[in-house]
Amino acid sequence: MLEARGLGVQIGSTTILQEISLRLHPGELCALIGPSGAGKSTLIKVLLGLRSPSEGTVTVSGGPISSAGPVGYVPQDDALHHSLTVRQALTFSARLRLHTVDPAGQGARIDAVCEQVGLGERLDVRIRSLSGGQRKRVSVALELLSQPDLLILDEPTSGLDPGLEAKMMGLFADVAGGGRVVMVATHAMQSLSRCDVLAVLVRGRLAWLGRPADALRWFEVDRFAGIFDQLPRHAPPVWARRWMGSQECRTFAGRPPPPVRGAAPERLADTSTPQPPATAPDLKAQLEALKAEYARKKP
């Protein structure tokens, strides 16, 4: 479970986030929406431990994120090596992230994620020659390799056509359905009803956290884009107070975790049987080997 309590971020005299509390269960796909500059990327960085909050705490399954299992993060700006082919990027990443898996297993995982994001045809194309939407999908594929228990994606569908956006949101719903927490910051409105949870951020405040369909009623609109037209009706602290003081907020906070579809992923099902620790990998040596291989293959 991902839990944030009373998060605040202050930069100089500017308040970027204030009083953000949320709880997401394994199995839930949460969409994070809000006007540009509302604080979505900042909140994501705080949730992932990439930025320290000025106030509040974040826990994953009750502990600090540093002790959580694999975590996936697709940043708003891609961090890809543009001179590599898609296959090279995935292979290098698989060697680092799946170092306890044999090469055949790593290859199978690469094939599986390429299939998931629809990149099978582009495996031997250099990343610099891909379209913006294809590059986004490479970023997503890299994070899916390690089957993270917590996956947070910052506008992963920007640059995708509506059909592909719907497919990717379907993929994130499937990933969450396997017992993971998935959060997606997005400006795309057409697939929000596929999400289990909708969070609406306005100028650093949480104006809503609940079921997407209930949000339409709360904001008195008939389509999600209409929420943005309603936000100027109240000041952000008023929205936040109305939400936190509502019966809907209390009911939603006490919701039961969703049932996990299909077999639970091993990492989540594995809590009762302690496993012997894997042999500590010599990550530095592996990194050096990868660097050397990359330098050899560089055009």
Question: Which of ligand ATP, Mg ion, none interacts with 11 (beta carbon under 5 to 8 A by kind)?
Answer: ligand ATP
Specify the residue, 72 or 156, whose C-beta has the smaller distance to Mg ion.
Answer: 156
Specify the residue, 41 or 116, whose C-beta has the smaller distance to ligand ATP.
Answer: 41
Report, in Å, the least distance between residue 9 CB and ligand ATP.
8
Report, in Å, the least distance between residue 106 CB and ligand ATP.
33
Specify the residue, 43 or 150, whose C-beta has the smaller distance to ligand ATP.
Answer: 43
CA distance 184 to 172: 8
- Please spell the DSSP secondary structure of 88-139, one letter per residue: HHHHHHHHHHTTTS-HHHHHHHHHHHHHHHT-GGGTTSBGGGS-HHHHHHHH
Q: Which of 21, 17, 18 is nearest to 5 (CA)?
A: 21
Question: Which of Mg ion, ligand ATP, none interacts with 85 (beta carbon under 5 to 8 A by kind)?
Answer: none
Question: Which of Mg ion, ligand ATP, none interacts with 129 (beta carbon under 5 to 8 A by kind)?
Answer: none
Report, in Å, the least distance between residue 255 CB and ligand ATP.
26
CA distance 14 to 230: 24
3-state helix, strand, coil split of the chain in percent (to 5) is 40, 20, 35
Question: Which of ligand ATP, Mg ion, none interacts with 34 (beta carbon under 5 to 8 A by kind)?
Answer: ligand ATP
Q: Return residues touching ligand ATP (CB under 6 A).
A: 11, 16, 34, 36-42, 76
The dihedral through the CA atoms of 151, 191, 246, 235 has a sign that is positive
Distances (CA, A) of 284 to 27, 96, 175, 176: 35, 10, 31, 32
Specify the residue, 34 or 210, whose C-beta has the smaller distance to Mg ion.
Answer: 34
Q: Which of 100, 110, 163 is nearest to 133 (CA)?
A: 163
Burial class from Cβ neighbours inside 10 Å (0-12, 13-18, 19+) for residue 104 reads exposed
Q: Return residues touching Mg ion (CB under 5 A).
A: 40-41, 76
Question: Which of ligand ATP, Mg ion, none interacts with 72 (beta carbon under 5 to 8 A by kind)?
Answer: none
Report, in Å, the least distance between residue 35 CB and ligand ATP.
7
Considering just the CA atoms, what is the radius of gyration of the chain in Å? 20
Specify the residue, 27 or 53, whose C-beta has the smaller distance to Mg ion.
Answer: 53
Question: Which of ligand ATP, Mg ion, none interacts with 271 (beta carbon under 5 to 8 A by kind)?
Answer: none
Report, in Å, the least distance between residue 183 CB and ligand ATP.
13
Query: What is the number of the residue whose Cβ is closest to Mg ion?
Result: 41
Specify the residue, 42 or 146, whose C-beta has the smaller distance to Mg ion.
Answer: 42
CA distance 201 to 34: 5
